[in-house]
Structure 1
Amino acid sequence: MASKRCPKNKAALHGSHVFTFRNSDAASSSEVGGSDQGENTRFIEFVEYDHAHYDGSYEAIKASYAFPKDKDGWKKAAQKKFPCTKWIPSYQWRSWIVVDLIAGITLSVMMLPQGVAFASLAGVPPQYGLYTCVFPPLVYAFLGTSRELSIGPFGLTSLMVGQGVAAALDGGVPGSDEFIAYAVTTTFVVGLYLFIAGLLKLGFITIYMSTPVIRSFTTGAAIGIATSQLSSLFQINTPNYDDPFANPQEWWYIVTHLGTTNAWSVGIGIVSMIFIYITKLLNEKYKTKMRNIPIPGELIVVVAAIILSYIAGLDEKGVAVIGDIPQGLPAPSLPPFGSVDIVKVAQLAMPVALVDYMVSVGVAKSLALRGQYKASSNQEFIALGATNIVGSFFGCIAASASLSRTSVVASIGAKSQLPSIVAALIVIVVLYCLTSVFFYLPKSVLAAIIIVGLRGMFKQHRDLITLWRSSKSEWLVWICTYLATILLGITVGLIVGVVLALLVVVYWISRPRVSQLGYHKQSGMYRDLHRTQCDTIDKCLVWRFSASLWYCNADHFQNRLIKQFNAMDGITDVVIDMNPVNNMDLQGGLTICTMHKYLEARKCRLLLAGCKGPTRDVLNKAGYFALIGNSQRVFSAVHDAVMYHNETEEYSRDNAIGAPLTVSQVLDMGENYGTHNYPSAANSNGSIHSAPLNEYDNGECDVGDAFVNIDLNKDELETVSLPIGKGKAAASGRRSSNMFSTNADTGDKFKSTDPNTTADDGESAFGLTLGGSQASTTIRSTHSTPYINSKAHDTAGRSLGSSDGSDSDRNAIVIPDDVIKRTKN
C-alpha cells in the first residue's frame, strides 16, 4: 500500500489534487501549523492500492513446530519444555532458600487436611487425596512455568469427579473398588486431554471463557460443594441424587431429617467452622505483622479434633471418623482401563479437564503478571497433563491448582517451585509415619474445612451488583450460569455459561455500535456527536462503524448507513471512518461496493478513511478499486477526506449551471478554475458584468451567458456566477482591465479608476483593496487561464496568497475531472 502526496509541479498535477486552505483568524492558523503570513497549506493524502503485504505469519507458525537446528536451539527448546532447567541453575540459594522453606512447610500444613477432605468430595478413601498431594506437585515443579502455583487436590475438580463417576455408575458406592477405578481412570484421561491440547498449542481456547462465566460458574459450584458436605456436617445419610435439581432435593432431605443428626458431630463441625473462619479473618487483618505467615487454622482444628476424639472416644458415641489409612506410598501401576466404560470416562473427563486448565492457567497468568515474568499457556497444558497422567499411575485423583494454597504461597514470597517439593516431601513423611493418628479425625471437621475454604467463592456474589451497574447482558449471563450450575449440575452449568457467553459475543459482533462524527475543535479530532459537543460538516456525513465488517454484520452496516443517509438532506459526501475495522471478509468488501453504487446513484460520493492494509486487500478482491477507477475515494485519515469534501464542495459546480458563489469564498480559497474562463466587461455605472459568451470567438461553454456581478456600492462583495464548460476564451474581444479601490476601514464606497484601460488579448486584471493601502488583492488571468491565486490580504492585512500570477501553480486548487463531469451531469 502506498500513500502519495500531491506534487507541486504543474506537469505532475494531472490526476493529483493540491488543496490550500486559509484560516480566518490567527489562533486557528497557529493551531494547524500555518506560516507566519497566516497561510496553511495541507496536502491531502490519497491512498492508492498496489498489492497485498505478506507478513510471513505462515512461516512463523511453521517454524514454531520445527526441530532446533543447532546447540543453542536445543538449549532454548529444553528450557521451554522443561522450565526447571532454567530456574534450578539460576537459583539464589543464600537469599531464597529460607523463604521457600517457610512457604513449603506452610503449604504442607494446608495440604494435609485438604487432601483428606477433598478425597471425600471425589468419593475415594482419604489416602488417595494424600497421594495427590505428593506426585502431581513434584511433576509440576519440573514442567510448570509458574513460580507460586500449588498443584494438588482441588475442591471443584474433586466434586466434578465424584458427581461424574456417580452419574456414570447410576449412583455407585463412594469408596468402592469400582468407584475408585473410575476416578483414577478419569485422572489419566484428563491428563491425556490436557497433554494433547498442549502439543497442539490450543492455549487460546480459554478466551471463550469470559470472566463473568468463570466467576458465576465457580460460585455456583461452591454452593454445590457446600451442599455435598452438609450430610457429613450433620451426619445424615442422604440419597445419591444424580438427576437435575439434585441440590434442592438434598436441601429438602436434610431439612426434613434434622432430627436424626448426631449432636457431637454437629457441635464439633460448627465449632471448627467458627474457629477456622476467625483465623482467616485474623490472617487477613494482621497479614503484615505476621510477615505473611498465616495461622494454620485447619491444622490446629485437625490436631485438636483428633485429640478430643481419642480422649472422649467419639467413635464409640456414633461420630463418623476417617478410620484406617494405609501406610506408605503405592507402587506404580496402570490405571484400570479394563474395569471401566472408557466412553463414559471420556465424557466425564472433558469438563474436568477444561475447568482444571481454566482455573490453573488463570491463576498462573495472574501471578506471572504481578511477578513480572512469563507463564506459557501451552506449556501449562503440557505440565498439567503430565501431572495427571503420572498421578494416575499412583492412584491420584484429578489434580489442579488450589486457589487458597497458591495465594498463601504467593503472599509468603516464594521464589520458585521449591515449596511444592518441600511440601510433597513432608506429606511423604506423614504417609510413612503418622497415618495412624488420622483414624480418630471426625468427618464433620473435614466438612468444616471444605465449607470455610469456599469463603472466597461465596464473596463472588458481589459481582451481581457491579455487573448490574455496568453491563446488563453480562449480569444475565452470570445469573443464568449460576442458576444452571446449582440446579442442573456442574457440567450443565459450564456448558450453559460458555454457550451464553458466545451468544452475547455473536450478538455484539452482529450489532456493533455505529455513530455520526463531528469535528471537535479543542482536540482537533472527530468524535461521536451524541457523546461530545462537536461541529457537523456541511453536506457531509462522517460515520463510524465500530467493529470488523463480516458477513454477520454486513446487513446491519448497510441498513444503518442507508437509514442515516436518508434521514439527512443535501448530503454530497459520506465519509466512513474505517479505523475500527480491523478485519473484513469478502461479504464486507462487497457491501462497501454496494454502498458505493447506492450513493453514487444519488449523486453522493462514498469516501473511506483510515483503511488498514488487510482491509484494502479484501476491498481489492471484492472489486472496489476497479469500481472506483481513477477517482479518489480512499484517504489516510478522516480529516483528509473531510478536507477533500470541503474543497470540492466549496468550488464544485454540482447543482445548476451558473450557481452563485460568494466572492469571499473565492478570495479565501485562492480558486483556480483550470481552463474554464469567465469573460467580463466594465460599465461606468459602478458594476462589472459579463457579456454573453456567444459574442466571443470559440466560446464552447454549455450555456449562453456567464454572469459576474460585483456591487461596488456596498462594503462587501456579493456573489459571482461562473459558467461550466470546456470553454476557450476569445483571442480578442471586449475584455477590459479595470482597477477599483476602497478603504473598508472608513466605509468609503468602491469607485472606478480608469475603467477604459484595455487589456491585452485574452488577458484581464483587476484589484480589490479590502483593508487599506497594505491590504490588496490582485487577480491575474493570462492567456485564457485565470488563476485566482495571486497575492491577497484580508482586512487585517494578513497575506492570503502567493506573490504573483506567474507562480500560479503554487497553492492552486485543481478541480478533478470527475467532479466536473459529475457537476455537468
Structure 2
Amino acid sequence: MMFTEMSCDNLRDLRTTRVVMNQEEFDKKYRYLPPPHPSTLHHVRKSIRKCYEPCTSTQSFWRYIVSCVPILGWLPMYSCKSNLVGDVSGGLTVGIMHVPQGIAYAVLAGVDPVYGLYASFFPALVYMFFGTSRHVSVGSFAVVSLMAGIAVNQLLPNGDSRLYTPSSDETMMLLNGSLNYTLTSERQLLPIEVASVLTLTIGIVQLLMAVLRLEFVATYLSDQVVSGFTTGAAFHVLLAQLDDLFGLKQVYAIVLALPNANLVTAIVSLCAIIFLFVCKEYINPLVAKKSPFPVPAELIVVTVGTAASHFLRLNEQYNVPIVNFIPTGLPMPSVPRLELIPDVLGDAVGIAIVVVAIHVSMAKLFAKKHGYKIDASQELLAIGLTETLSSFFSVFPISTALARSMVNEGAGSKTLLSSAFSCTLLLFVILWIGPLLQTLPMCILASIIVVSLKGMFMKLHELKVLWPLSKIDFLIWLVSFVATVGYDVMPGLAISIIFALFTTVFRSQWPRWHFLKRLTGTSDYRDAARYASVSEFFGVRIFRYEAPLLFCNVDRFKKNVHKAAEIELRFNTGPYVASTVRAFHKQNSSNVAMDELAEDIVKKATLNSGFKALVKNIVIDCSGFTYVDYMGVSAIKEIFDEMNELGVKVYFAATKAIVRDLFETSGFYELVPKSNFYPTISDAVVVAQNSLIAERDAVSNETIDTSNNICRIFVGPSSQQVHMHL
C-alpha cells in the first residue's frame, strides 16, 4: 500500500473550518451545558401527573381509554368500501386454517382436541379489542404448544391425571355446560387445568412486563436465537408425532420394532403427508398467481380423513386411533387452579418471553411492510390480556402463528376486523360441526403438524447466509439449535440466551482497533488499512478503539496502545541505542573501544532504515468509547503516564459528552489536563503537528558521537536525541 507522505512544510496546508481549539475552549465558546439531573421529586411528580392526566378532562380520559382499547379508535372510522372485502376473505381463510391446526396443536399441548378450537376462538376475539397489529393471527402455535405440553407432562407424567382435594364443595363443568356434578372429596386434576393455569401465569408475567415497561427483555432473544430455537423445537415436535404417525407407543420402537407399526395408520399418514406437501409446494404457488385464496389443504385432509374413518370404520376394524368425543357449545368461564401457579411459574416465564419475542417481531414486520405503526407497549399489554382472559375459558398457551399470519396478509386482510369473521366461522364449528369430527384419525392431525414444520426446518438454510456475514451470529444460531435438540426445549432456550449474552461480552472484550489516516484532499479520517489514497502525518499516530472501555477489555486496550506506539518506536533507534549501551556497559569495562559498540548499534539500527517517521504524538480517537467504567478511566490514566515517560505526547479527540462527564466526576482531569482533549481529530492533529514543527532540528545526517560516553541518533528533519550516560 502506498501512502502520501507530507513534509513539515506542507502541513500548513491543513485547514479547518474554524479556529483550532481544545475541548475546554470549545465548550466555553459554544456554552456547553452540564448534564441534566432530574431530582427524585421530579420523577415522582412526573409519574403522578401521568396517572391523573386522564382525569383532567373528558378528552384526555377518552384518549386514555382508546389507547388501552384501540378498537374504539379505528372501528368508528372503518371503511367498508376499502377494507370489508379483504377482511372477509382473509378472516374466512384464516378461520378455515384454525380448525385443523387448533385440533392438531391441542394434541401437541397434551390436552383433548376440542380445546384447540377454544384456543383458536377466544384469543383471536380478545386480541381484536386490544391489539394494534392488523395482520397477525393469534391462536395455537406449534412451538408454544410443545412447550406447554412439556410443562403439562411435568405435572402429569404420561398424560395421567393427579388427585387433588377441592377447597370446598364446588360444582364443576366438564368441557361445557352439559355435564355438571358436585365434588366433596378428591378428584383428578385434568391436563387442561394445568394448561389453563399455565396460560394464566404466562398472561400475568406478560402484564407485569407491560406495567414495568420490560418489553426490552424480548430483545435478548435475537433473530438467530429465535430461529435456532424454533428449528430445534421443530425436531421435538416431529418426534412427538411419530407415535401417532406409525401407531407406536415409544419413539425408539420406530427403529427397533418398525414391523409392529400399525400399517393402516402408517398408510393414512403417508397419504396425508404427500397430499399436504404437494398442495403447499406445487398447487398453492400456481393458485397464488390467479387467486389470493390458497387451497385449504388441511381442511380437505381433515374432511376426507374423517369421512373415510367413519365409513371404513378404521378405529374398529384396524385399531386406528381417532379423536373420539367432541362436545358442542362453548365452555363456561371458570377460575384456573391458582394453587398450581408456583408449579408452573418457571415454565411460564420462559414461554412468556418466547411468545412476546415472536409476537412483537411479527407485528413489527407487518407494520413496516404496510406502512403503519404499532405500539410495542400496547402489544405487550394486548398479548398479556389475551392470555389472561382466555385462560378462564379452558385455553392452553397461545401465540402469534407465523404461517397463519402470512396467509392472513396474503388473503387480503386489512384490519383486525378479519378476526371477527374467523371467530364467526370457528363459532359455527364449535356449536354444530364439532361432533362430526369425532372419527377424525389422530394420524391426520400428526400429519398436519409434521408438514407445518417444513417452514421451520427450512431455517437451516440461514446458516449458509450467516457464515460469511458473521461467524458469531452463525455460532449463536448453531448453539441455540444444538442445545434445544440435544437437551430439551426449556433448557435449550436458557442455554441459547446465555450464550448470546456471552457473545456480547466476547465482542466487547476483543473489539477491533485500527489506525486512522486522513483521506487525501479531505478532512475525513478513516481506517488506513481500507483506503489507499491517504495522507500520513509525520510523527503522529491516530489510534481508534471500536468499543466501550470496560473492565473486560482494559488490558487489551493498553496492549493495543502499546503496540501502536511500538510499531513506530520500533523505527526510532533511540530506545534501542539506549538499551544496547546499557547492556554493553554491564558486560564490558568503561575503557572498551566504543568503535565496536557504535558498529553494532549502526548495524542493528539500519534494519529499518526504509522508515522515516518517528512517533512523538499519539492521537486517541475516543468516539468509539460509548461508555467508560472505573477501570477504563484508570487504564487511560496509566496510558497517559506511560507515554509521558517515553516522551510521547497523548491527545484525546472526539470524546463523547457522557464520557467527559464521567471524567469530571472521577477526578480524572487532576492527572490528565483538559488541554489534552480536543473536539475533533483535526484539532488534535493540527496541534500535534505544530508541536513537531516547533521542536524540529534541521539535521539531515545520521551520526554517532561517542565523546563523553554520550550516544546520539538523528534521523530525518525531525530528529530525536537520546542521551545515555555510561
| Short-chain TM bin | 0.7 to 0.9
- 1:137 equivalent in structure 2: 124
Residue-by-residue CA offset, 1:554-599 (whole Å, 9 max, x unaligned):
2222222123213322422110111122222333233222222222
Q: Within 5 Å, which residues of 2 pair with 1:731-746?
A: none
The CA RMSD measured in Å over matched residues stands at 2.7
Task: Name the SS for the 1:518 alignment partner.
Answer: strand
**1:461: how far off?**
0.7
Q: How does 1:181-580 map to 2 (within 5 A)?
A: 181-238=193-250, 250=251, 252-282=252-282, 285-286=285-286, 288-317=288-317, 318-338=319-339, 341-521=340-520, 524-533=523-532, 534-569=534-569, 570-580=614-624
Q: How many Å apart are 1:166 and its aligned residue?
A: 1.0
Contact in 1 for aligned 2:619/2:684 (Cα 8 Å):
yes
- The equivalences for 1:635-646 within 5 A come to 635-646=678-689
Q: Which residue of 2 aligns with 1:53?
A: 35
Q: Is contact 2:247-2:265 (8 Å) kept?
A: yes
Q: Which amino acid aligns with 2:507?
A: W
Contact 1:79 1:85 in 2 (8 A): yes
Measure the CA separation in 2 of the matches of 1:46 and 1:232.
75
User: How far off is 1:326 after superposition?
Assistant: 0.7
Q: Distance in 2 between matches of 1:496 and 1:127?
A: 34
Q: 1:573 to 1:408 in 2, by over 3 A?
A: same
Change (3 A) 1:309 1:356: same
Greater RCO (CA < 8 Å, at least 6 residues apart): 2
Of all paired residues, the percent bearing the same amino acid is: 29
Instruction: Tell me the residue number matched to 1:660.
Output: 698
Change (3 A) 1:89 1:219: same
Q: Deviations over 1:521-540 (max 9, x none)?
A: 16542222222223432211
Deviations 1:640-697 (A, max 9, x none): 21111111211236xxxxx3379xxxxxxxxxxxxxxxxxxxxxxxxxxxxxxxxxxx
1:122 aligns with 2:121: no
> How far apart are 1:551 and its partner, in Å?
2.5
Deviations 1:440-473 (A, max 9, x none): 1111111111111111101011122222223223
| Larger of the two Rg values belongs to structure | 1
- SS state of the match for residue 190, structure 2? helix
CA contact (8 A) 2:89 2:412 kept: no
Q: 1:507 corresponds to which letter in structure 2?
A: F
* Letter aligned with residue 441 of structure 1: L
- Give the letter for the 2:52 counterpart: F
Q: Tell me, which stretches of 5 or more residues in structure 2 are unaligned?
A: 1-6, 162-174, 176-187, 570-613, 701-715, 720-726
Residue identity in the other structure for 1:651: A
| Aligned residue identity for 1:193 | V
Corresponding residue SS for 2:450: helix
> CA distance change for structure 1 residues 519 and 308 in 2, over 3 Å: closer, same or farther?
same
What's the secondary structure of 1:515's corresponding residue? strand
CA–CA distance in 1 between the matches of 2:424 and 2:264?
A: 35
1:67 aligned residue: 52
Match of 1:151 in 2: 138
User: How far apart in 1 are the matches of 2:255 and 2:80?
Assistant: 56
Distance 1:347 1:495 in 2: 11
TM-score normalised to structure 1 length: 0.71
1:634 aligns with 677
Structure 1 residue 84 corresponds to structure 2 residue 54: no
Pairwise CA distance, 1:511: 1.8
The verdict on how the C-alpha distance between 1:610 and 1:514 changes in structure 2, with shifts beyond 3 A counting, is same
Give the Cα separation in 1 of the matches to 2:208 and 2:718: 78
Query: In the aligned structure 2, how far is the partner of 1:220 from the partner of 1:581?
Result: 38
Relative to structure 2, which stretch is displaced further, 405-414 or 285-294? Answer: 285-294
One-letter amino acid matched to 1:466: V
In structure 1, the partner of 2:627 is 583
| 2:20 counterpart residue number | 44
Distance 1:46 1:325, change over 3 A: same
> How far apart, in 2, do the equivalents of 1:310 and 1:171 lie?
28
Letter aligned with residue 116 of structure 2: G
2:656 alignment counterpart: 612
* In 2, Cα distance between equivalents of 1:287 and 1:611: 59
Seen in structure 2, the aligned counterparts of structure 1 residues 71 and 644 have a Cα distance that, compared at 3 Å, is: farther
- The letter for the 2-side match of 1:53 is P
With structure 2 as the length reference, what TM-score do the two structures score? 0.80
1:129 CA drift (Å): 0.9
Amino acid at match of 2:682: H
Letter of the structure 1 residue corresponding to residue 111 of structure 2: V
Q: AA paired with 2:198?
A: T
The amino acid across from 1:136 in the alignment is: P
The SS at the match of 2:623 is coil
- Cα 1:24/1:559, change in 2 over 3 Å: closer
Secondary structure of the structure 1 residue equivalent to 2:641: helix
Which amino acid in the other structure matches residue 203 of structure 2?
G
CA distance in 1, matches of 2:517, 2:217: 40
Q: Deviations over 1:8-67 (max 9, x none)?
A: xxxxxxxxxxxxx99869xx97xx78xxxxxx9862132116652227698689747543
CA shift, 1:325, in A, is 0.3
Query: Comparing 515-524 with 130-139, which one deviates more in the overlay?
Result: 515-524
Q: Which amino acid aligns with 1:324?
A: F
- Superposition deviation, residue 553 in structure 1: 2.1
1:388–1:324: structure 2 CA closer, same or farther, 3 Å change rule? same
Most deviating of 63-72 and 402-411: 63-72
Shift of the 57–265 alpha-carbon distance from structure 1 to 2, 3 Å rule, reads farther
* CA distance, structure 1, for counterparts of residue 227 and residue 675 of structure 2: 51
How much does 1:607 deviate? 0.8
- Partners in 1 of 2:152 and 2:718 — Cα distance? 90
Corresponding residue SS for 1:157 = helix
Q: Distance in 1 between matches of 2:527 and 2:284?
A: 46
Secondary structure in structure 1 of the residue aligned to 2:563: helix
* 1:615-653 Cα shifts (integer Å, max 9, x gaps): 110121222333344x63111211221111111211236
Aligned equivalents of 1:161, 1:128: Cα separation in 2: 13
Q: 1:111 to 1:510 in 2, by over 3 A?
A: same
